[in-house]
Amino acid sequence: MANKLNPKQNEAVKYVAGPLLVLAGAGSGKTSVITRKIAYLIKQCGVSGKHIAAVTFTNKASREMKERVSKLVSGPEARGLRVSTFHNLGLNIIKSEHKALGYKPGFSIFDSEDAKALIRDLMMKEGDENTDRINHIQMEISNWKNAMLTPEEIIAQAKTPDDLMLGNVYATYRRYLKAYNALDFDDLILQPVLLFRNHPESLARWRQKIRYLLVDEYQDTNMAQYELVKQIVGDRETLTVVGDDDQSIYAWRGARPENLAKLEVDFPSLKLVKLEQNYRSTSLILRAANQLIANNPHMFDKALWSELGQGERIRVIRCRHEDAEAEQIASEILDLKLKKDIPFKDFAVLYRGNHQSRLLEIKLKAFQVPYRMSGGSSFFSKNEIKDAMGYLRLIANPDDDAAFLRVVNVPRREIGPSTLEKLGNYATQREVSLSQAVNEVGLEQVLSEKALARVRRFSEWLKRNTERCYQEDPIPVVKQMFTDIEYDQWLYQNSNTPKQAEKRMENVWYLVDSLRNMLELDKGTADEIGIDEAISKLILRDMLDQQEEEDDSDKVHLLTLHASKGLEFPHVFIMGMEEELLPHRNSIEEDNIEEERRLMYVGITRAQRTLALTYAASRKQYGEKIETIPSRFIDELPEDDLQFEGGEQQDKVRVQEKGNSTLSALLGGLK
């Protein structure tokens, strides 16, 4: 898109007389509107950067926004501008108001795995170790927090013994978190909301700080996020939100597209501006997206249009079975690469569930087509890396309570949650860290002799190794630590296969090597760093973000429809266009087709130039061949804009022949 704003974008940027909802269709330049509006508020309206906050949902989106704003405004005017995710804003509020919330400074944040481990320990006490059950309870607690429900409210409205048990687990979970001076991910929103409800002076302070609020992807907000926005804005109505109810695909994690409609109720003077011009896709692709989504009920009507020409018809390709479908996609990509010199990175294959990529990966490898999986787990999110980082963090900072809790019982040292709760409560009363509390005489009054001996044994071992790290070459010491605790054996016990355990141990050694490289990099220079600084550098590395940003290599993108949101690609394949896959069986059973339709809409609007939809006429399920039914979404697209291929006459031989000839061409080109 050119630098010049279109009339509707311009209207959205310059409207500051009251609350504004910008209904921004896919590819309509909404990020431009938000960033230009920030610049307009600073330059034309005289609002200081430190009094403006813009919130979004992902680190990537907030980073992109920051970069764009810095090109428009710089220097003192932009100083103090807050551009962050919702959770980061919540974290900053908690940091500055921790006293009022009853937390010590340096509180820990539990990620999903840490929270699950705690719930698992609590369930074991109840005699329930069912993994599905633990996942269910974790999701329930998350939903309750997003809906701002306290354990007391859940217990009060319990109708069955099971409801009551769940409420009690929630209450115990909350109590333990508090004792550990820890918060989970959902607390980063819930706690500021509760703070502002109960402490008007804190709310007044933050209203003074944030005098204009901009919110991106508003359709993805949950109840707690909506409440936080309402609290900060108050009756000043200095608010701009950007959203698209057609792209609301996160109901499963508490998103409420109806929050868009609620705005009209809570802010009666709300102005609506629609961005309908699309700068991404051809007219045919947009027509398909518009016709599909018209089958959903709408709070606000809009129709995307484009000046990028008609474009090619959308292909609908029937394949005999899932193997032929994967082969079709892989051979086509290679064919187009060789014949038209289209880079691999211009192709994306989207699917409903991660399991669908397996066959495709095999075919791409066979054809020597490079690919990258998006939305897979980052290096730092692997459990073994989190464990290893826990030990390293304690070497850098023995008072890191989150790290202490992470590793004190990994591998198992028979130090259970009730011991840790008592230790946590004692540390809170004494206003010391968990590590410091272990060595205090008073702890002998709180813990049993056995429990005390276990935690002290761990603490002494750690202290001994930490001292050695600062006195001698730290790398051999760190390696020895993992050998001492027999971490490889722990991985063998907690991995599905010995091969997986080996791979996971290799990851740990890779991390230690990274640490060594950091230490050696500036050795003997003025910039030489110690073990604590090297570990701090590792902690600060957000590997996932780095990978997302840096991997611009020539590879086909494989990703789920959910993970594709916010992205665009010249050539898109959506595979598995079948009933019970897309729409998903669960959605059909729960009569929630609307969300699946929005997901399909997101998929279609990722395509810039060409779009192909594939399905398998039969698919293996539990070892049995099942005839499939093509997805209802194909019938909802404009028939005249579709090109149907691969009827009954298409057989495997033809697909294979095409694949083989393409492969020969490739191999010939490599010689």
Residues marked as catalytic: 30-31, 216-217, 247, 606
Single out the residue of 642, 640, 630 nearest to residue 604, CA to CA: 642
DSSP 8-state secondary structure symbol assigned to residue 219: G
- By three-state DSSP, how is residue 416 classified? coil
Helix (H) or strand (E) holding 56: strand 52-56
- Cα(268)–Cα(62) distance, rounded to whole angstroms? 29
Q: Which amino acid is at 100?
A: A
Point out which residues pair with 347 in neighbouring strands: 571
Checking 386-394 for CB contacts under 8 A at 24+ apart, the result is: 386/111, 386/113, 387/487, 387/508, 388/482, 388/508, 388/511, 388/512, 389/511, 389/538, 389/539, 391/478, 391/481, 391/482, 392/478, 392/511, 392/515, 392/535, 392/538, 393/535, 393/539, 394/435, 394/462, 394/466
Q: What are 554's two structure tokens?
A: 């020539």
The closest alpha carbon to 92, from 199, 205, 253, belongs to 205
Burial of 127 (0-12, 13-18, 19+ CB in 10 A): exposed
Burial 49-85 (b: 16+ CB within 10 A, else e): bebbbbbbbbbbbbbbbeebbeeebeeebbeebbbbb
Cα atoms in the Cβ-side hemisphere of radius 13 Å centred on 305:
4
Token pair for 417 = 């949650």
List, in sequence order, every residue forming a beta bridge with 72; answer none if it has no partner: none
Strands of 576-661 (E only): list them.
607-621, 624-627, 642-645
Measured N-to-C along each axis, helices 112-125 and 131-146 cross at an angle, to the nearest 10 degrees, of 120
- SS3 of 613, please? strand
> Cα 434 to chain center, whole Å?
30
Cα separation, 350 vs 365, in Å, equals 18
Residues 6+ apart with CB under 8 A from 366: 330
SS3 (DSSP) at 617 = strand
DSSP 464-488: HHHHHHHHS-HHHHHHHHHHHTTHH
Q: For residues 191 and 199, what is the distance between their CA atoms, to the nearest angstrom?
A: 12
Tokens representing 304 are 């995307």
Joined together, the tokens standing for residue 264 give 């009209």
Strands 569-574 and 347-351, bridge-based pairing: parallel
Q: E strands within 139-196?
A: 182-184
- The candidate with the shortest Cα–Cα distance to 367, out of 611, 669, 650, 664, is 664
Exposure of 484 by Cβ count < 10 A (0-12 exposed, 13-18 middle, 19+ buried)? exposed
Q: How many residues does the chain have?
A: 671
Q: Left, alpha or beta for 182 (phi > 0: left; psi -120 to 50: alpha)?
A: beta
